[in-house]
Amino acid sequence: YSQAAVARDCPLAARSAPLLQRLERSMSSVTIPPPACILRPLEVPYRYLFGPGPSNVPPRVLASGSRPIIGHLHPEMYEIMNDIKKGIHYAFQTENNMTIAMSGSGHAAMECAVFNTVEPGESVLIAINGIWGERVAEIAERMGANVHKLVKAPGGHFTNIEIEKAIGKHKPVLFFLAHGESSAGLCQPVDGIGDICRKHNCLFLVDTVASLGAAPIFMDKQNIDILYTGSQKALNAPPGTAPISFNDRACHKMFNRKTKPVSYLFDMTHLSNYWGCDGKAVRAYHHTGPVSGFFALRESLAILAEKGLEESWRKHKEVAAYLYRGLEDLGLELFIPDKDLRLPSVTTISIPEGYDWREMLVYIMKHHQMEMTGGLGPSIGMVMRIGLMGYNCEKTNADKALHALADALKNCKKSKA
């Protein structure tokens, strides 16, 4: 149709002709075509996620994430967030009011803890025996803290005597320790360390991303000031949310700062209101939380509460011991010699002599649709990691993992050296 014909046949359209012309020009300005890949249906393979996380998610948790979306500031959403807080109280064994779930992975909680409790120029002490201490040290350095490091090789653990000596020397405002150092497969004892930190007026920050639900932790009884975890490991929710809790000591430091935290998104002044922890009647908009992610986290915490912490700890210990025996029967060497220091959720084995660990992992993925991983950070080239946590924590899955490893040992090339 010409513009004259449009005017003759449809006077209303004629008045809209300039709009149509603008629309045509706008459409003709698109030079990047729709990508062929995005026009294909989404396909995701089923894999056995027997690495250090994420782990396979129970159908009940998957189903919860497909519930209808509601507004992140709706009263029903606040109720779900309140349920999550109560679930975290149980999982952490704490009565702390300042308990929330971060919109982000475990790294979000890690940064939130450091950004809110440390100011530029203040001294912090970081225990490093794997990648997580390295990460916290870098985060603290980036925001201007005076970072001191207590370092051991992957697999090494810290004694209370070593920790108190370092705290006395550096006088930090914050001491960090990973309870579950998944890059090495170590479960660090924490009894008595909270008392040391209180004696020296230092906050005690603990990472339980890989250990929560798999190994005992008692936030209040062990005098842990700040505790965080991630959703995607033994909690068995999809990645993307991260529970964190601050006790009164941490809150006093956090809310009596001279400077604002370097991150607006992670500022607990705002997050405490969003989560209804600040005593105010109205929750103000801060950011749009991951609604479906919170549904899934709420359901995963419900499953943990139904099972019971003690039963979850027992099951992880039992299945880990079963896996250890099977690995030793294959002639493989467990990386952590002391069984009491092994992380029940993530088992590390020394790379078998003469084998290329990368080749073994590729073989296992190709022939068994199974993820296992190598080391991470300082443990790369030292270990292979097998994770059986939460929903995956079953002896039948240990058997699958052992069968895949036996197959790889048989069929992957071994050097003559």
| CA distances, 133 to each of 178, 352, 356 (Å) | 7, 27, 28
Cis peptide bond upstream of 54, omega within 30: yes
Tokens at 177, concatenated: 């320790």
Is residue 66 within 8 Å of residue 246, measured between CB atoms? no
What span, in angstroms and rounded, lies between the C-alpha atoms of 383 and 182?
A: 11
What span, in angstroms and rounded, lies between the C-alpha atoms of 345 and 340?
A: 13
What span, in angstroms and rounded, lies between the C-alpha atoms of 143 and 270?
A: 19
Tokens at 228, concatenated: 């965080």
Tokens at 389, concatenated: 């946590």
Please tell me what DSSP assigns to residue 413: -
Is residue 188 within 8 Å of residue 181, measured between CB atoms? yes
Size (the chain), residues: 417
Is residue 99 within 8 Å of residue 92, measured between CB atoms? yes
What span, in angstroms and rounded, lies between the C-alpha atoms of 370 and 50?
A: 7
Tokens at 367, concatenated: 């022939």
Work out the number of other CB atoms within 10 angstroms of the CB of residue 17: 13
Is residue 290 within 8 Å of residue 102, measured between CB atoms? no
* β pairing state of 174-178 and 203-207: parallel
- Tell me: is residue 385 an annotated ligand-binding position: yes
Q: Is 216 exposed, middle or buried (CB count within 10 Å of its CB: 0-12, 13-18, 19+)?
A: middle
Work out the number of other CB atoms within 10 angstroms of the CB of residue 176: 28
* β pairing state of 346-350 and 174-178: unpaired
From the annotation, which residues make up the binding site? 385
From the annotation, which residues make up the binding site for substrate? 385
